[in-house]
Amino acid sequence: MAGSDATGHAGTPQSATTENIDSILTEDRRFPPPADFSAAAHIRSLDDYRAMQQTARRDPVAFWSGLARSEIQWHRPFNIAFDDSRAPYYSWFGGGQLNVSYNCLDRHLADRADKTAILFEGEPGDVRRISYSELHREVCRFANALKARGIGLGDRVVIYMPMVPEAVVAMLACARIGAIHSVVFGGFSSGSLRNRIEDASARAVITADGGHRDGRIVELKAACDLALSQGCGSVETVFVLRRAGNPVQMKGGRDIWWHEAAAGLSADCEPVWVDSEHPLFLLYTSGSTGTPKGIQHSSAGYLVVVAATMKWVFDIRDSDIFWCTADIGWITGHSYVVYGPLACGATVLMYEGAPAVPDAGRFWSICERHGVTIFYTAPTAIRSLMKMGDSIPARYDLSSLRLLGTVGEPINPEAWMWFRHVIGHERCPIVDTWWQTETGAIMIAPVPGAVTTKPGSCTLPLPGIEADIVDAEGRSITDPYQGGQLVIRRPWPSMLRAVWGNDKRYRETYWEPSGAHYYIAGDTAHRDREGYFWILGRSDDVLKVSGHRLGTMEIESALAAHPRVAEAAVIGKPDETKGETIFAFVVPKGARPTAEYAAELTRDLRAWVATQIGPIAKPETIRYADSLPKTRSGKIMRRLLRDIAQGVPITQDTSTLENEEIVKQLQGQV
């Protein structure tokens, strides 16, 4: 089974697949929803979940239209619920008009004006509580500041900020005036920032002097200055929030302090009503080839599904303190720190810093002090906190927690069980949520009051989501444990609408390989006897390092741009804590380096990649050789490199290699 075509392609190491299947075959632990949880939940039983699923299946457009009416306050109702006449460029809720910031703020002012919208804790320990009415005022004021600088409908605005409430204000202020935001993760370097600004032709950048991370100050404004000094001609204005207090340079005519820009402006700002399909944001993510793609999301369809999934998967209630630990630079932060919770009028906790500052108890201390009820994080974080030992979480009162969640990569059953025992005290259901930047919202996850969970499985697709697993010919694989490509058979409202400025790439990446019959996720997966989904990993050359997506190509290009490098190949090596680590094979210019030269070059290259892309992209290991193993057509033999990196016997036929000696060099034997 593991040797079938569908699972045996490049990207899914054979051994990992086999191991995974073995673990699933022996994974017979089951955790039904606790009765008291189900009794009070939005979806209370498996029957209710199945009934919703059936309704959605019978008439998907009617199902989503009903949700669109219940989840959104429309300025003008839609009349064309779904349009597939330009497939795969689908559109939803045509004819409708809305404003996303209105839906996240104004509509709560009648009954939740004084409720805390954002409960913020900075890394240094500063705490702020911002009510819905205060957030509304701040968003309006800053929207007016954007307008005063000429920003309006359809303009792109790059947000490069720390995890502070003003980052949310900036996003919602853009949404208020119909500007399209593109948040760039604050951990990315000036080079990555520049690429994204240029691809989107942004007119403005919103940044901060710096943010607190790991006891240090991340100098965002300085990185922004560097990016702008090397291009980015479209940028007219840079708004700078004072956060960390580090000195910055302000360029006259271009740069303006946030507080000065907003001073004296009205705390009212009439929302700009936009069409359902108006782009709410772009978010750049790595693909297997080329530069990062600007994933474009809509306004209405996106909001409908993020709001619905807050209820279905997180069972959100007015009394909850919801904490999603993701940075707003990732889709998880967009959907489950900002738009989902605020659309539901929830209280969302936002933490600025690193998990182990001042010590490994920080997350649990935050849960205790703020009474967090729902805690959503990444498997990599769980594994690293697990390594610190059970005695650390044992020091904190975690009894406020009622639901736990994970996202970003497969979670190994051991970490799942630890999360359940040591953090959830057997009381809290765990929702393992599968989705992507492109899907906008959660697609496959247990509905916690309805679906029995199994450690390591994201369980069943949500109502309206026709997830399937197919073989190389596109046939549905129904045999249990048989791996294949994870696909979604029917368009859904929160799906991506485009790759910014590149219709061809959108079509070719997600739809064309199936003849536009279904959406291709780029993951491999299989189902068990009960139809539960188990994700195996990516099927393309995309790495998941600590749950973050990095393209091998991007790192390879960065390495190859170094003056001492001729060529490079990058692969992911399985890692217990991080999921994968980056392993680079490098052909240096000139002769193969001596040990001493190699050590120095490795330091240099790691620092180089950190400045080109960001510290998360630094290769963990670099190995040098005179050339790289390639097929006759010139394709790098990645499976061979994976075997070498893992130190396992080589399974691939190497007879087509020009120089078999290279394999020994790459293995570090000569």
Number of Cβ within 10 Å of residue 83's Cβ equals 15
Q: Would you report the helix, strand and coil content of the chain in percent, each value rounded to 5?
A: 35, 25, 45
Nearer to ligand WT7, 271 or 301 (CB): 301
CB of 270 to ligand WT7, least distance (A): 34
Q: How many residues bind ligand WT7 (CB under 6 A)?
A: 21
Nearer to ligand WT7, 320 or 523 (CB): 523
Nearer to ligand WT7, 33 or 329 (CB): 329
Residues 502-531 that bind ligand WT7 (CB under 6 A): 521-523
Distance CA(300)–CA(304), nearest Å, equals 6
Our finding on whether 372 is near ligand WT7 (CB under 6 A) is no
Nearer to ligand WT7, 93 or 518 (CB): 518
Could you give the string, one character per residue 452-491, with x where binding to ligand WT7 holds by CB under 6 A and - elsewhere? ------x---------------------------------
CB of 251 to ligand WT7, least distance (A): 33
Cα separations in angstroms, 363 against 300, 376, 525, 547: 34, 11, 31, 18
CB of 443 to ligand WT7, least distance (A): 9
Which residue type sits at 427?
R
Residues 275-314 that bind ligand WT7 (CB under 6 A): 285
Cα separations in angstroms, 309 against 20, 259, 316, 339: 28, 35, 9, 11
Report the half-sphere exposure of 182 (CA within 13 A, side-chain side): 30
Number of Cβ within 10 Å of residue 38's Cβ equals 20
Distance CA(34)–CA(536), nearest Å, equals 28
CB of 545 to ligand WT7, least distance (A): 10
**CA torsion, ordered 103, 160, 320, 387, to nearest 10 deg:** 150
Binding test (CB under 6 A) with ligand WT7, winner from 161, 218, 385, 407: 407
Cα separations in angstroms, 615 against 171, 620, 640: 25, 11, 27
CB of 484 to ligand WT7, least distance (A): 15
First to last CA, the chain: 37
Nearer to ligand WT7, 456 or 619 (CB): 456
Residues 603-662 that bind ligand WT7 (CB under 6 A): none
Distance CA(632)–CA(206), nearest Å, equals 48
Nearer to ligand WT7, 2 or 331 (CB): 331
Binding test (CB under 6 A) with ligand WT7, winner from 332, 509, 602, 612: 332
Number of Cβ within 10 Å of residue 345's Cβ equals 17
CB of 543 to ligand WT7, least distance (A): 10
Nearest Cα to 501, choosing from 282, 340, 324, 257?
282
Cα separations in angstroms, 648 against 295, 308, 545, 586, 630: 37, 45, 21, 20, 19
CB of 139 to ligand WT7, least distance (A): 25
Nearer to ligand WT7, 352 or 409 (CB): 409
CB of 280 to ligand WT7, least distance (A): 17
Both tokens of 75, joined, read: 């300025």
Report the half-sphere exposure of 630 (CA within 13 A, side-chain side): 11
Q: Which stretch binds ligand WT7 (CB under 6 A): 215-223, 314-322, 404-412, 503-511?
A: 404-412
Nearer to ligand WT7, 209 or 438 (CB): 438
Could you give the string, one character per residue 185-204, with x where binding to ligand WT7 holds by CB under 6 A and - elsewhere? --------------------
Nearer to ligand WT7, 436 or 602 (CB): 436
Could you give the string, one character per residue 420-459, with x where binding to ligand WT7 holds by CB under 6 A and - elsewhere? ------------xxxxxx--------------------x-
- 540-551 burial: b if 16+ Cβ within 10 Å, else e: bbbbbbbbbbbb
Which residue type sits at 307?
A
Residues 528-567 that bind ligand WT7 (CB under 6 A): 535, 538, 544, 549
CB of 534 to ligand WT7, least distance (A): 9
Nearer to ligand WT7, 161 or 521 (CB): 521
Nearer to ligand WT7, 408 or 619 (CB): 408
CB of 273 to ligand WT7, least distance (A): 29
**CA torsion, ordered 437, 340, 524, 294, to nearest 10 deg:** -10
CB of 407 to ligand WT7, least distance (A): 5
Q: Cα–chain-centroid distance for residue 268?
A: 32
CB of 329 to ligand WT7, least distance (A): 11
Binding test (CB under 6 A) with ligand WT7, winner from 409, 556, 580, 643: 409
622, β-bridge pairs = 584
Helix, strand or coil, per DSSP, at residue 581: strand
Our finding on whether 331 is near ligand WT7 (CB under 6 A) is yes
Binding test (CB under 6 A) with ligand WT7, winner from 341, 408, 449, 461: 408
Q: Where are the alpha helices (DSSP H) in 95-164?
A: 100-104, 109-112, 132-148
CB of 419 to ligand WT7, least distance (A): 13
Helix, strand or coil, per DSSP, at residue 520: strand
Q: By the criterion CB under 6 A, which residues form the site for ligand WT7? A: 285, 331-332, 407-410, 432-437, 458, 521-523, 535, 538, 544, 549
